[in-house]
Amino acid sequence: MSPPASNTSSSKAPGWANILQRCNQWLMFDVGGGPRPFKLATIINIQKAGSLPFFALLIWFYSTRTEAATSATAWIYLALHGGYGINWLIKDLLFPDPKWQQRSTIVACIFGSAGLALYWLAGWLIISGRTSMDYPLPAPVWFSLCILLCLLGCIIMTAADVQKFCTLKLRQGLITDGMFTWIRHPNYLGEMLVYGGFALLAWHWLPGLVLAFFWGTMFSTNMVMKEVSLARHPGWAAYRQRTWWLLPGVF
């Protein structure tokens, strides 16, 4: 999950991005008002840490109810999503993003927990046997594709976040080398590859709908607002001209 964008220079952003940013900010931090007991980082980390035991419990619960619960697909999903959660926790422990340290209201914490739980739908569909997993390619080939996407996504996201953390410790301004040499939002690309791999492994329309919602409302807004904020730095125009939004050759 990628951090909320800064409010800097939001007046220069498209109208739709300003509206969605305010809605995202309200839902993640301010809805309901009152006490703010937890940082948003705490809510996210609980969900990440809970992925491995959650899917293990699902396998145990459904093991006597459906063969899908003990299938190769279920165990692969457990390893991929559980491993991704561990990777996230290590990254956040060593290289925390300051934007996640803002505290949320009680209602926002509940809302955030429910929203994050939607990311578990793909695993539940697989383990409960509620998806046919009628893949367009032979299962071993499809498994390889999904594993490859998840591994690449973890590497790209982690490397980008670590580079950003270390670079901004030393200096402020544009980051135009390393993971940011060719694309401007490698951290978002990495996370999209990870969850795209999960959704493809489930091969069901519901995880795709969840991802389309988050990518279309949160990720797109954050990327637009990030670019508006970075535009104040010298060299932005030249950097933007020679790089791509997410994938080289696309946008």
Whose structure tokens read 């955030």? Answer: 112
Contact (Cβ atoms closer than 8 angstroms) between residue 157 and residue 191: yes
Burial of residue 228, with CB atoms counted within 10 A of its CB: 0-12 exposed, 13-18 middle, 19 or more buried: buried
State residue 13's pLDDT score.
83
pLDDT value of position 251: 60
- Its sign, for the CA torsion 16, 47, 156, 141, is negative
- The proportion of the chain whose per-residue pLDDT surpasses 70, expressed as a percent, equals 95
Q: Residue 105, Cβ neighbours under 10 Å: how many?
A: 20
Full-model pTM? 0.92
Q: Is the pLDDT of residue 124 over 80?
A: yes
The three-point CA angle 191-162-111 to 5° equals 45
Strand ranges, E, within the chain: 38-39, 103-104
Summarize pLDDT for 16-54 with one digit per residue, the tens.
999 999 999 999 999 999 999 999 999 999 999 999 999
Which DSSP state fits 203?
A: T
Find the mean pLDDT for residues 199-221: 96
Distance CA 244, CA 61 (A): 45
Q: What is the mean pLDDT of residues 185-211?
A: 97
> What is the predicted pLDDT for the residue at 1?
56
